[in-house]
Structure 1
Amino acid sequence: MSPVRKSASKKRVRLGLRRLFGALPRGLRFWLYRRMVSVQVQPDAELEFKIAETAQELEACFRLLHDAYVGAGFMKPDPSGMRITIYHALPTTTTLCAKYRGEVVGTISIIREGVFGFPMQAIFDLEPVRARGGQIAEISALAVSPAFRKTGGEVLFPLMKYMREYCERYFDTRHLVIAVNPDRIEMYEALLTFDRLVERQVDHYDFANGAPAVGASFDQQSAPGRFRRLFGGRPAGRNLHRYFYDLKLPQFSWPQRRYHTTNDPVMTPALLDHFFNRLSPVLSGLDDRKKALLWTIYDQPDYKPMLPTLSPSGDADGGHPLRNCRRFSMRCPAQIEYADEAGKGVYVVAVIDISHSGFQAESRLPLPLDREGEAVVELGEGKRSVLRARAVRRKDTQGGAFYGFRFEESDAPWRECIAAFEMGYTYRDIR
C-alpha cells in the first residue's frame, strides 16, 4: 500500500473511532478520559519552562503558534510566518514557553483583563465569573511542536501545570477562561475541571478566523477540591491532583522579584518596534482609542518613536476619559489601622494596585469611607511603606469589597517603588 493510501486509511480509522467515542453517553466519555490519562512525574531533564522574553524566544513562539493555527484553519498564513496580536504587546500578557535542548517546543499566552480587555469578552458573557471576585485571564495561543504532539502530553501537561502555577503564584489570577474548538472542550472539562460558560456554541470566533468555539472557565479557589475528588488516591502517573498541586518540577524557572508585582513585562522599545511595527503592522492598524491607551501604558521617552501616531481627526477618548495617572499592578499584604474619636480598629487587606497618590485594596470586611487611618503596606521583601490614607470609594463583588484609597503624602519606600516601575522596561529591570 502506498504511503498516501496508508495515511488516508489511518485517518478514516481515527475518524471512525472518534464517532464511536462521541456516541457514548457524556458521563462515560468523561470516565474514559480520566481512566486513560497519564502524566510523567519526572519529565525529561532537558525540558525547561519559562517566560518567553528574548527576541529569539518570542519569535519561535509566534512561529510555532502561526503554523499550528494555520494548520488547524484558525488563521490564514501571514507573510511574517508568525501570529502576532496586539495582546502580546501588553504588559498584562505573559507568554510562556517550553524549551527542549534550547529549542522552543511549546507555548501558551496568558491575557489578564486590562485596558484592552481580552478577546473572549466580545462574544461570551463573563459577568457570572466576574461577580465571584478575583482577576480574570484568558488562556490563549496554545501550541506544541509536531514532534511532541504524540508523546502522551510530554510537553502539554507540564506546560499547563506551569501556566496554572504561574497564574496562582505570580499573576494574581483566580479565574482562567478559554475559548476552544467544540471538538476539544470535553478534554478541558473531564481532565482539567473547566466549566462551560453558557450552554451555547459560538459559530464564528473572529479571533480564530471565524472557527466555532465554546467558552469555559476554571476557578483556582475551587479547583483543588475538585481535582482531589476526581483523581485523589490514584497511582502517581494518573493522579492529576498530586501532579498539578503537590509535585514540584525542577524544570520550572520562575521570575525573581524585588516587589510584589503581578506583571512580568518583556517588551523593550526595540522588541515592541521589531514585532509590532517591522514584522507585523499591528500598531498602525489600531483605532485611535487603543493607540492613545498604548501611549498611557508606554509613557517612557524611549517608547515614543515606536508608538503609532493618532489621526488628526481621531476621537482618542472614544467618549470616555483616559487615565492621567498610571497604576501599577501589585498583590501586597497590608493593614489599615484607625484610631480616632470614632473608635479603634485594625483591618487586614490586600493592595492590588498602586499609583503616585493612591492605591486599591481588597477587603473581606467593610471599611469606613472618608476616614483617615495608618496604612502599612508590604511592597516587597523588606520594602515596607507607612502612609496616612483614607478610603474614598467602594465596589462590592461576591468575593469581597474593593476600596480606592487616597493619600496626601507618600514615604520614601513608596516613591522608590513607583520610580522602579516608571523607569523599568521589563520585569528584570523592576526586580
Structure 2
Amino acid sequence: MSCFRLLHDVYVDAGFIQPCSPPLRIIPQHSNSETRVFMGCLTDGQGEKMPIYTASLFPDNDQGGLPMDIGFQRQVDVLRNQGRRVVEVGCLATHPLYRKGNKNIPMLGNRMIVSYAMNTIHADDLLITTHPKYLKIYEDILLFEKIGEIPSFSYVNNNPAVALRLNLNTFAQRLKEIYAKMPIEKNLYHFFFESGSTSIDLSLEEEKEKAERYYGADMVKRVMALAYSVNRPFLPLIAA
C-alpha cells in the first residue's frame, strides 16, 4: 500500500492522474498473479522503512494483457506474433526529494528490474510507455527503441505517450559496445552486468503459494478495503 500511495502522489503531482480516494494508484493488471511490485526504501536505523521508489513489472499472459494495450496493442501484437515473451514495466515513481539531481535511485531500480526480467522470468523484450519529455533518457542512455507514439493516452490523464522496447537478448552486447571503454562511473555495462549487484533469486514455482495469497481477481478490492481501515502515516509529496 505504501508503494501504491507513493505512486498516486507522484502521478498526481505530475498531472498523470486525478486525485482519488483512497489515495492509491492501482490498475487491473496488479491483480495478475505474475505481476511483481518492486520497492526501494530508506531505513531510519531502527528497522522502520519508508518507500521512496517503486515500479511494477507486468508479464504478458491471459490474465488481462498489458497496461499499454489500451493505446499500443497493435505494436505489442507484432512482438507477440513473433513468439516473444514480453513484459511491461510501469507504475514507476521516485519520491521527489530523492530524485532531483540524483539519478542513482531510479538507475538502481532499472538494474533490479532488468535483472529480474532477464534472469528470473527470461523475458525477450521489456516494454514501457513514457511521456515524450523522458524520451532522451530511454533512447539515448538506456538504448530503448521507439515503437509507437500517440498524442493522448487515457491511461495517464490524456497526456502524450511514447511506447518503447528494449530487446533483452541483445541489451548486454549493445551496452558493452557503447559503454565498455568509459570510466567506471559512466560505464552502464559495468553497472548492469559487472558491478556485483544483489542477485534476485525468486523461483516462480516456489513463489506460487505466496503469490496466490496476495494476488487474484479480488486483490484490488481487498487492498482498497485495507486502505480505508489502516491509519498509517505517509511522507507527503504534494505541497498544500
Q: 1:267 aligns with which of 199, 209, 214?
A: 214
Residues of 2 paired with 1:277 and 1:218: CA distance? Answer: 37
Partner of 2:22: 80
Partner of 2:187: 239
Do residues 226 (structure 1) and 168 (structure 2) align?
no
Change (3 A) 1:204 1:179: same
Residues of 1 paired with 2:205 and 2:8: CA distance? Answer: 35
Change (3 A) 1:210 1:111: same
Do residues 180 (structure 1) and 127 (structure 2) align?
no
Cα distance, 1:135 vs structure 2? 1.1
Partner of 1:108: 55
TM-score by length of 1: 0.47
1:27-426 alignment to 2 at 5 Å? 59-101=1-43, 102-114=49-61, 115-124=63-72, 125-198=75-148, 201-250=149-198, 254-257=200-203, 259=205, 265=211, 267=214, 273-277=221-225, 279=227
Contact 1:180/1:213 (<8 A) preserved: yes
Q: Deviations over 1:180-226 (max 9, x none)?
A: 0011112100111100003xx31111111111101110010011111
Cα distance, 1:264 vs structure 2? 7.3
Residues of 2 paired with 1:75 and 1:233: CA distance? Answer: 42
TM-score by length of 2: 0.82
Change (3 A) 1:277 1:203: farther
**Which structure would you say has the larger RCO, counting Cα contacts within 8 Å and 6 or more residues apart?**
2
Letter in 1 for 2:136: E
Q: Deviations over 1:140-162 (max 9, x none)?
A: 00000111112421211111000
Change (3 A) 1:147 1:235: same
Residues of 1 paired with 2:78 and 2:33: CA distance? Answer: 26
Contact 2:132/2:161 (<8 A) preserved: yes
Residues of 2 paired with 1:60 and 1:258: CA distance? Answer: 24
Contact 1:195/1:218 (<8 A) preserved: yes
Identity across matched positions, percent: 22
CA RMSD, Structure 1 to Structure 2 (Å) = 2.5
Which has the larger Rg?
A: 1
Change (3 A) 1:243 1:171: same
Higher relative helix content: 2
Higher relative strand content: 1
What SS does structure 1 have at the residue aligned with 2:37?
strand
What SS does structure 1 have at the residue aligned with 2:12?
helix
Letter in 2 for 1:129: L
Residues of 2 paired with 1:98 and 1:274: CA distance? Answer: 23
Residues of 2 paired with 1:148 and 1:216: CA distance? Answer: 25
Residues of 2 paired with 1:237 and 1:71: CA distance? Answer: 31
Residues of 1 paired with 2:9 and 2:181: CA distance? Answer: 39
Cα distance, 1:241 vs structure 2? 0.8
Residues of 1 paired with 2:42 and 2:196: CA distance? Answer: 19
Cα distance, 1:273 vs structure 2? 4.5
**Structure 1: segments with no counterpart, 5+ residues:** 1-58, 281-431
Cα distance, 1:256 vs structure 2? 4.4
Partner of 1:388: none
Letter in 2 for 1:100: L
Task: Figure out how many residues of one structure are paired with residues of the other and give that number.
Answer: 218
